[in-house]
Homo-oligomer: A and B are copies of this chain.
């Protein structure tokens, strides 16, 4: 097993499979908790706020029986006094057994991991990586379909800037899947990712409209952000074109719908109660997956 979790691309397929198996094993502690990590402390260094991710890690550590300290606001930390990231990390590792870091700058998490003697998990560094999101995505797929191999999976929305879909595409290339990329022309999957897929011989096709999605097992929808469009009308048109509602769901059949959340208007609330909706369960899967990662890296998982 690796020492730190910085990028999904650092992980071998065996590491990923091992993490997913351990996560499945953690489900039995979801209700009652365990004392596996009793006496252990996680510090959450959030140099930019991400309540959702922070609370998921807090919940996971608490379910393991450990404690959590940390900050979620750069204003309150000595960084203001000119302290380097290295110094902050070296101080915090004196106070805790494992570190989760989120930072606006790419490469910060890897720097933290190099400096720290305790394990470090990247909870997002800039546009770069958010590997635990990818692992919970894979876990959700495997839990729903019992397998990842053999599936046809559509990734939809802002494929150009979406960190989540890039990491997921890399991770899925380790499996025997077919991919469908659904996005406006301006927001197509970057060359770098498609080149990687070609190398790995992962079949993919690109379509522009939701109507053109072939029969798939799963649609992974993501947010299309207003800031990406120079023309607000163009944004409005695009946003509506990729919205999943009762009428579009007819085209998608029984395909499962995933979304990293928060959603804005990408998925209509009327979908929530359908058997297609997998996104809240997906958020909940963050707990066993993060329990697995924390316990494995701390070495408290027998």
Contact = CB atoms under 8 A, between A and B. Distances in A.
A152 interface: no
Report which residue of A51, A65, A87, A264 has the largest number of chain B beta carbons within 10 angstroms of its beta carbon. Answer: A51
Nearest to A66: B62
A55 B71 contact: yes
- Work out how many copies of this chain go into the complex: 3
Size band of the interface chain A makes with B: 35 or more
B59 A76 contact: no
Contacts of A96: 59
A76 B62 contact: no
Contacts of A52: 77-78, 91
Contacts of A262: 78, 81-83, 87-88
Given A34-B39, A94-B283, A58 B69 contact: yes
Contacts of A70: 55
Interface in A240-284: 261-264, 269, 280, 283-284
Contact of A49 (B41, B76, B83, B283): B76
Contact of A51 (B39, B56, B71, B86): B71
23 contacts: A33-B39, A33-B40, A34-B39, A39-B63, A39-B65, A43-B55, A51-B78, A52-B91, A55-B70, A55-B95, A58-B95, A59-B69, A72-B76, A73-B76, A78-B261, A81-B264, A82-B262, A84-B269, A87-B261, A87-B262, A88-B262, A94-B280, A95-B286
